[in-house]
Amino acid sequence: MIIIEICIGSSCYVRGAQNVVEFVQNIIKEEHWEEKVTVKGAFCMGLCSSGLGVKVNGEPVIGVSLADLDGKLRHVIQREVS
């Protein structure tokens, strides 16, 4: 099981963490990964200075921004799934 933790701390929320949650939930639906991937909420991971806080299987994904969700995140999750 792949665990994706998304920071919903105040700083990330202000910068649009909600969109990250929606984005990840949407790809899970699109790719039918319901059995393979779970999304969890998390608190500040100390990643505030390097983009939005996202961890995939405990590994921080550096430099996540709203503008580049598809490029950054989909790729990382895909790699983990396959």
Partner 1 sequence: MGLFDHEARQFKFDVLREVSKSAYEGTLTPDIEDQLAYKLIPTTKADFRCCVYKEREIIRQRTRLALGKSPNVRLKVEKKPKQIVQVLEAACDGCTIQRIQITDNCRKCMAKSCVKACKFDAITMGSNRAIINHDKCKECGACVKACAFHAIVETVRPCKASCCVDAITMDECGIAKINEDKCINCAACQAACPFGAIEDASWIVPVIQLIKMDTPMIAMVAPSIQGQFDSASLDQIKEGIRMLGFQDVVEVAVGADVVAWHEKEELKEKMEENVPMTTSCCPAFLNLARQHFPEVYEKNMSSMASPMVIMARYLKKVHPGVGVVFIGPCVAKKQEAMTDMPQPDVDYVLTYEEVAAMLVSKHIYLSELEAEKRQEASVFGRNFAYGQGVSKALIQAAKEDDGLTFTAEYADGCHECKKQLLLMKHGRFNANILEGMSCKGGCSNGPAVIDNSIKIKVRFDKENAPLKARTIKENIDMFSQVNIDLHRHKGGQV
**Does position 41 bind partner 1 by CB under 8 A?**
yes
The residue behind tokens 């792949």 is 2
Residue type, 68: D
**Does position 9 bind partner 1 by CB under 8 A?**
yes
The helix/strand/coil state of 56 is: strand
**Does position 76 bind partner 1 by CB under 8 A?**
no
Smaller CB separation from partner 1, 59 or 75: 59
82 Cβ neighbours under 8 A, 6+ residues apart: none
Q: From the CB of 14, what's the least distance to partner 1, in Å?
A: 5
Beta-strand relationship, 2-7 and 59-60:
unpaired
Binding residue (CB under 8 A) for partner 1 from 14, 30, 35, 58: 14
Q: Which residues pair with 40 in a beta bridge?
A: 5
The residue range among 9-17, 28-36, 57-65, 67-75 that interacts with partner 1, by the rule CB under 8 A, is 9-17
